[in-house]
Amino acid sequence: MKRLIVICLAALLAGGAFNYLRPGAHAAHAYVGQGLKTQATNSATGDLAQDPPTGQDQQAGGRQGFGRGGQQSAEPQPYERVITKDAKTMVGVFTVHRIKDKLYYEIPRNELDKEFLWVSLIAKTTEGAGQGGQAAGNRVVRWERRDNKVYLRSIDYSIVATDPDAPIAKAVAAANNDTIIAAFNVEAIGKDDAPVIDVTRLFVTEVPEFSPRTRIGARGFDASRSFLERAVAYPENVEVEATQTFTSPPDTAQPFGGGRPTGPAGQQQGMRTGSATVLMHYSMVKLPEKPMMPRFFDSRVGYFTVNQLDYSRDEQKAPRNQLITRWRLEKKDPNAALSEPIKPIVYYVDPATPKKWVPAIKKAIECWQVAFEAAGFKNAIIAKDAPTPQEDPNWSPDDSRYSVVRWLPSTTENAVGPHISDPRTGEILNADIQLYHNVMNLARDWYFIQVSPLDPRAQKLPLPDDLMSDLITYVVAHEVGHTLGFQHNMKASSEYTIEQIRDPKWVAKNGHTPSIMDYSRFNYVAQPEDNIPVKDLIPKIGPYDIWATKWGYAPIPGAKTPDDEKKTLDSWAREQDKTPWLRFSTADNAGSDPGDETEAVGDADAVKATELGLKNLLRVSDYLLPATTHEGESYDELKEMYNRMMGQWATELTHVTQVVGGFDSQEKHGGQAGVRFELVPKERQAEAVKFLNDNAFTTPKWAINTEILRRIEPVGTLDRIATDQQRILNSLMNNNRLKRLIEQAAIDGPKAYQPTQFFADVRNGIWKELISGPVVIDPYRRNLQRNYVELLGDKLNGSGNQAVDDDARALIRGELEAISQMITAALPRATDKTTHLHLDDMKDQIAKELDPKFATPAAAPGQGPGGGAGRRRNVDVDRNWEYYF
């Protein structure tokens, strides 16, 4: 799930070397996260400098530490003079020697020219400089020796020729020369001609290819405040940790961000002015010498991918091969319909996990067994306790051979499920789920706000342990899904009817959403009279999850190459035509599908679902005070829950805005009947606007409870409701939505909801006091009307993506003029002095917006002219504000 940011890591750009990639034809650049490309920065080549960079060199990021002076190779020294009796040595895939503050790698001859995945991770950080557990990039590397030099090369798997005999293969190899990241003198020769090199500077100076600089918003690096922490060698990997200090001078510092790591993809935190010290964890994992046979991605099924351009295919352009990320599962008995795998997927539970939650985490892992059984595997996914030091003194959660569900002592309300993939094939090599302690608080709040009317256990806080265990199982099961290769499937929650998700028998069998990978939290559509069992209010592994696991993991008999599988995979994907709850989000829908929403239940009919959800919110408002009041304690919990309730109110109503200008969609490939995008009927769009006028743009008086408000604050209710209504307005009047309305009218003619009618319907709701009779406008409605005029003014006179163009400009000018005319006609009927002043002000503001010489220049969001608080508060978004999981 996101935002938090739900963050999920995958090596997403990459390559299909397959089993038959010719030696020397390489391809890579891994993607990290969901669509975030790891930046590849070329480093100068040459020797590592022997002296640390100082002064300007440090601020320049330590680049001068590589290749300074073009030093010539020195003759190796006797082994005992380099690896002295002071060395602390560990033998693994490399032999690692630590001598005080120096680190040496002794590279066995048979590991030279082999490929390793280098993973950079921010293990710990200073507040405001990225997040602990955040990936800083990964890439394939190779160590090669030439005489008395060892070179570390970066291997690229984004461009390949999978047919080594194709004439273009040589050209691909020539265009894909592997970058030298660093060069090392061979300091000594070990057993069996193994070169010994000093790799200290890879970790205590800044190497652009491995640096977290872009993740934390730093400008400089200080080697004098950077040092090695630890280095450990294992049979398949080497793990190194180093403390590194980055700087951000006052004239270059970015605004301090703070906050959760759960915002929109790509959002970065800026460093404070000064310094930030981070603990970097570097894993170097040997890639399988026999690559797994990949499986091609299909946009109808939601897997993360690694990508490549294959120039050897007989096509008129280089096709982009996308390979799904998945674990390597092979049957012990290939002929059995259900067989145990040769090597199961094993997750360990972090020893730091509170004991009472360990069973819940194990249950979350193994609840996926039902999905793998559909793919033909028994006991394919297993949960284990981490061994004690007495049971296995060498076991470590940092060992990349082990996948661990880690419990982190953090106030971040989130969990993330990253995984690391072989960029040649998509094979998942490791997955460490990060479960932040305070995700329990988030799950608790959501459950109380959404379904406490349906579960008596949730009508008093704190929640009982048995309920919290179920919530932890839900969160972890979602993250396990990410580590199995699955993307979010926000489409899933719209594939059941409202009647189905209120039916106890249906929900018991299928859940209220077909996929646990959706952001469809708890069944807020169900009503008390539906008598849904409390265990079925929480998402579980659903029909889509089981089907998608089969699609990605089931062996296809007789297939020797990915191309051999395509016909079978296509036939499986077409099952979605008859069974809608097997569908995945439509590619390129660009926010146009009202059934592809986050935080939604029953968004097949957002109006009906929200109508039912609001009924439950009214019930929740009655529980707030008794549920959160504790003898001798403050009202902080009451305030938190009240704000969550109002946020849920706005969230559910933004689902309704998505109907306007919308398309019902299904991802289809050639040979499937029908189009991908079907216009939402104009009657449904008009119904959505009416619902918003009646429920979003009418003051929610049920939420204005002085018994609550006078306990949590002296002032703030007007601003809170104005902010929530503004959020809904911003979504409804989103520029992309206006473009779709205009284009729908152009293409679909009378079938479309006409933009002029849309504006008239919104106007008559927001300004309904002006239509007839005496005019009295209360403070809540005055705020709404003021925000509406400011929003239109921003679109007419703003800059960048705030401003509209083409027909939208004329429509907005016409809307402002229509409002002004309504005000002129209504002013004589304004019997209330404050109302009269408000209307005068609005008429004056509209005149300024319509006359360019009076138009206010656009300012930064939240800032007016001169940097003060002002009108530019509207954010043009077509999505929810935050993402979790």
Phi-psi region of 133 (alpha: psi -120 to 50; beta: other; left: phi over 0): left
Burial class (CB in 10 A: 0-12, 13-18, 19+), 720: middle
Q: How many structural domains compose the chain?
A: 3
Range of the domain at 750: 636-867
Q: Which of 295, 324, 353 is where one domain is finished?
A: 324
* Residue 142 shares a structural domain with residue 232: yes
CB atoms within 10 A of CB 46: 16
User: Cα torsion at 28, 33, 39, 43 (round to 10°)?
Assistant: -70
Closest-CA residue to 472 (of 510, 492, 446, 501): 446
Per-residue pLDDT tens digits for 482-539: 999 999 999 999 999 999 999 999 999 999 999 999 999 999 999 999 999 999 999 9
User: Residue 58 pLDDT > 70, yes or no?
Assistant: no
* Residue 442 shares a structural domain with residue 551: yes
Structural domain includes residue 874: no
Q: Three-state DSSP class for 359?
A: helix
User: Cα torsion at 54, 59, 63, 64 (round to 10°)?
Assistant: -30
pLDDT of residue 137: 81
Exposure string over 352-376, b if 16+ CB within 10 A, otherwise e: ebeeebbebbbbbbbbbeebbbbbb
pLDDT of residue 272: 67
Closest-CA residue to 552 (of 300, 820, 221): 300
Q: What share of the chain is helix, strand, coil (3-state, %, to 5)?
A: 40, 20, 45
Per-residue pLDDT tens digits for 525-576: 999 999 999 999 999 999 999 999 999 999 999 999 999 999 999 999 999 9
Tell me, letter by letter, the H, E, C secondary structure of 459-470.
HCCCCCHHHHHH
Structural domain includes residue 330: no
Length of the chain: 885
Structural domain includes residue 860: yes
Lowest mean pLDDT across 385-389, 636-640, 749-753: 385-389
pLDDT of residue 310: 61
* Residue 317 shares a structural domain with residue 350: no
Q: Would you give the DSSP letter of residue 869?
A: S
Per-residue pLDDT tens digits for 375-414: 999 999 999 999 999 998 878 887 888 999 999 888 889 9
User: Residue 870 pLDDT > 70, yes or no?
Assistant: no
Better-scored residue on pLDDT, 752 or 27 = 752
Q: What is the pTM of this model?
A: 0.84
**Placement of tokens 């040979």 in the chain:** 671
Q: Which of 265, 294, 324 is where one domain is finished?
A: 324
Structural domain includes residue 269: yes
Q: Which of 292, 324, 356 is where one domain is finished?
A: 324
Structural domain includes residue 876: no
**Placement of tokens 């921003």 in the chain:** 794
CB atoms within 10 A of CB 840: 13
Per-residue pLDDT tens digits for 784-795: 999 999 999 999
CB atoms within 10 A of CB 833: 8
Q: Are strands 188-189 and 195-198 parallel, antiparallel or unpaired?
A: antiparallel
* Residue 349 shares a structural domain with residue 305: no
Per-residue pLDDT tens digits for 811-868: 999 999 999 999 999 999 998 999 999 999 999 999 999 986 654 444 444 443 333 3
The residues, ordered by sequence, that sit 6+ positions from 807 with a Cβ below 8 Å of its Cβ are 742, 755
pLDDT of residue 123: 82
User: Residue 326 pLDDT > 70, yes or no?
Assistant: yes
* Residue 320 shares a structural domain with residue 377: no
pLDDT band at 30 (very low <50, low <70, confident <90, very high): very low
Better-scored residue on pLDDT, 471 or 13 = 471
383 in Cβ contact with 365 (< 8 Å): yes
* Residue 290 shares a structural domain with residue 414: no
Average pLDDT of the residues of the chain: 85
Phi-psi region of 25 (alpha: psi -120 to 50; beta: other; left: phi over 0): beta
Structural domain includes residue 452: yes
* Residue 52 shares a structural domain with residue 121: yes
* Residue 278 shares a structural domain with residue 359: no
Exposure string over 847-866, b if 16+ CB within 10 A, otherwise e: eebbeeeeebebbeeeeeee
* Residue 769 shares a structural domain with residue 691: yes
User: Residue 647 pLDDT > 70, yes or no?
Assistant: yes
Alpha carbons 107 and 186: distance in angstroms, whole number: 10
* Residue 57 shares a structural domain with residue 149: yes
Average pLDDT over residues 154-175: 61
pLDDT of residue 122: 84
877 in Cβ contact with 732 (< 8 Å): no
Alpha carbons 211 and 206: distance in angstroms, whole number: 6
Alpha carbons 276 and 227: distance in angstroms, whole number: 14
Structural domain includes residue 230: yes
* Residue 313 shares a structural domain with residue 352: no
User: Residue 664 pLDDT > 50, yes or no?
Assistant: yes
Alpha carbons 784 and 729: distance in angstroms, whole number: 9
Q: Three-state DSSP class for 317?
A: coil
Average pLDDT over residues 299-323: 74
Residue 218 CA, distance from chain mean position: 22
Per-residue pLDDT tens digits for 758-782: 999 999 999 999 999 999 999 999 9
Structural domain includes residue 396: yes
Per-residue pLDDT tens digits for 40-56: 332 322 332 333 333 33
* Residue 529 shares a structural domain with residue 672: no
